[in-house]
A and B are shown apart, each in its own frame.
Chain A
Amino acid sequence: MNKNAKLPETEEGTILFNTDPIIVKYHYEIDYLHSYAQDSPFFAGLAKGKLLGSRCSGCGYTYATPRGHCMECGAATDWLELPLSGRVHTYTTCYYGGEAFLKETPFTLILVEFDGVNTLFLSRLVGAEPDEVAVGMEVKARFRRNAKFTPTDVYFVPA
């Protein structure tokens, strides 16, 4: 037993923004071991210059996104290679955003529609000024040479 036990004093301090009330800076960070699980072939496809959607093995409904099972009937889907050209279904240019994307502003988001596919695909449009984009505009897919295994491995440019 030591009645004079002490916690060690350290050089670290706290960043204060205010004292009444006391507002302190609190840092928080996480590294996840995130699995794309059944959607992995989509990301592998992007690295090979392919855009993979899903076709329902039961009702034939087609999705421009990976979806292991059909939202309409519940049956398993098969991978479907999507065309690499489509049209702008809708668009916006973001001048503000979440912290992670602030440095990329302004950037243009589009939903792409493909012939013969029932649903849409969210992507970035590059190579067009905000006032050059329009609903119905023809666009084509491009792929990053060095894949990052994120959905931005594919992006679209004016066709």
Chain B
Amino acid sequence: MRPVYMITGGITKFAKAHPEKDFRLMVKEAFDYALADLPGLSRADIDGTVCSYFSDHFTRQLKAGAMVQDYLGLCPKPSRRIEGGGATGGLCFQSAWEAVASGRMEACLAMGFETMSRVNTWKGNEFIALASDTNFDYPVGGFYTGYYAMMVRRHMHEFGTTVEQMAKVAVKNHQNALFNCYAQSPASLTIEEVRRSPLVATPLTILDCCQMSDGAAVALLVSEKTAQRLGGRPVRVSGVGCGTDAMRMADRPHAPVILLPHESAAEYANMKYPGVHSFRGGRMAAKLAYEMAGVTDPGRDLDFVELHDAYTSSEIQTYEDLGLCRYGEGGRYVDAGTPFLPNIDYGLKFPETSRWPRLPVNPSGGLLACGHPVGATGLMQAVFAFWQLQGTIARHLGDARLQLPSPRRGLIHSHAGTGTYITVSIMERV
């Protein structure tokens, strides 16, 4: 395998509905942004594409990827569609990485979208729930917020995680999004407002959950030779990993923890893992990506994380899967202020000192505040991580407040189902 670089990206504004644009036009807008951001790059430089979108039901169109390919003027170049639930975007990014790393392509465009506004929210929830076992899970009352509510209830039972800790994640991500012009639902919130908002599935309120969105994003991955030829400020994709778990969360085993290099089996002597409180696939994805990138102590080796916070609870669970803190410590990690940006006032008080080094998580606002147009989400994370590592946040967002001082290494994390497909990719400043 050879080194792979991201050299440009683009995003559309994520919104509840973009009825004036179909999926082809949304991807075209993100693509044109990416082309314009790297003078000298033209369509002729692109060898092929991977297209990500989750649901044919939302699109009301099979083989929609072929329509994006022709709309962008990229026929007859190679293309394929990638689908893996909520992790569709992250899988697409890694598929484009594979095309370049293997030498099959010099430049591969990862492009993704979702048009969720084409049905009402309750129908959308039904489509999403069809990505759970339709014989055994969906008919019982298929509803992803219900599944995540059960998972975090067990996390609360095992580790003492609180709804206030979850609410702080909502406060953080919505507040960060105030400075992100691409975000769907920026807001200044308090813990009380999050808790007083309507209950969706106990203990999750509507502000604990991401919203449905329309949106698109693209990321262009290239070989070292092509990165040198086209110039700009490339960012290296230094590690990729992916993990899986049983579709029916009831089938998850209760076994020993998969350890990261900075952990020991003794720490988890009494833990039944992953049960329904943790994501084994996320841990596997992180382990593989860390091994490839040479990350041995993620809490210290990473400068920021853009993770798949479809729910406040899953952000807390994911800190642990990624090894930012130990299993069971996710709630306290929030209380310590560790994943918050130091330069933004959240209206929250944090202790003077923390056991963990500051590590901003979802500086973009994450899914909770940016929105979650499924096929675009994992690529949106890649674009934000790319801009962070380039140091170009101010130029792209028109506001410098989300720009970290000089980040060297970031992590993006994309997650499907109740943890059925999860990807972790590491990106580094060159």
A binds B: yes
A123 within 8 A of B: yes
Name which residue of chain B comes closest to A102, CB basis: B122
CA distance A27 to B276 in the complex (A): 37
A109 to B153, Cβ gap below 8 A? Answer: no
CA distance A120 to B251 in the complex (A): 6
Q: Of A18, A72, A96, A150, which contacts B139 at CB under 8 A?
A: A150
Interface size band for B: 35 or more
Name which residue of chain A comes closest to B128, CB basis: A98
Residues of chain B lying within 8 A (CB to CB) of residue A152: 139-140
B143 within 8 A of A: yes
Q: How far is the CB of A33 from the nearest CB of chain B, in Å?
A: 14
The chain B residues found within 8 Å of chain A, CB to CB, are 19-20, 60, 120, 122-123, 125-126, 128-129, 135-137, 139-143, 145-146, 149-151, 153-154, 157, 198-204, 246, 248-254, 276
Residues of chain B lying within 8 A (CB to CB) of residue A39: 135
Residues of chain A lying within 8 A (CB to CB) of residue B199: 93, 95
Q: Of A36, A94, A130, which contacts B146 at CB under 8 A?
A: A94
CA distance A122 to B199 in the complex (A): 21
A81 within 8 A of B: no
24 A-B pairs whose Cβ atoms sit less than 8 Å apart in the complex: A18-B19, A39-B135, A64-B250, A65-B136, A90-B276, A93-B202, A94-B141, A94-B146, A95-B198, A97-B125, A97-B143, A98-B122, A98-B125, A98-B129, A99-B125, A99-B126, A100-B126, A104-B141, A109-B140, A109-B146, A119-B253, A122-B137, A122-B248, A135-B153
Contacts A28-B60, A90-B153 hold; do A96 and B250 have CB atoms under 8 A apart? no
**Contacts A39-B135, A119-B251, A135-B154 known; 10 new A-B pairs at CB < 8 A:** A23-B19, A90-B151, A95-B198, A95-B202, A97-B125, A97-B146, A99-B120, A100-B142, A121-B250, A135-B153
B141 to A111, Cβ gap below 8 A? Answer: no
The chain A residues found within 8 Å of chain B, CB to CB, are 18, 21, 23, 26, 28, 36, 39, 63-67, 71-72, 89-102, 104, 107, 109-111, 118-124, 130, 135, 150-152
Interface core residue of B20, B149, B153, B276 (most chain A CB under 10 Å):
B153
Give 6 nearest A-B pairs by CB, closest first: A98-B126, A92-B149, A90-B154, A120-B250, A97-B143, A98-B125
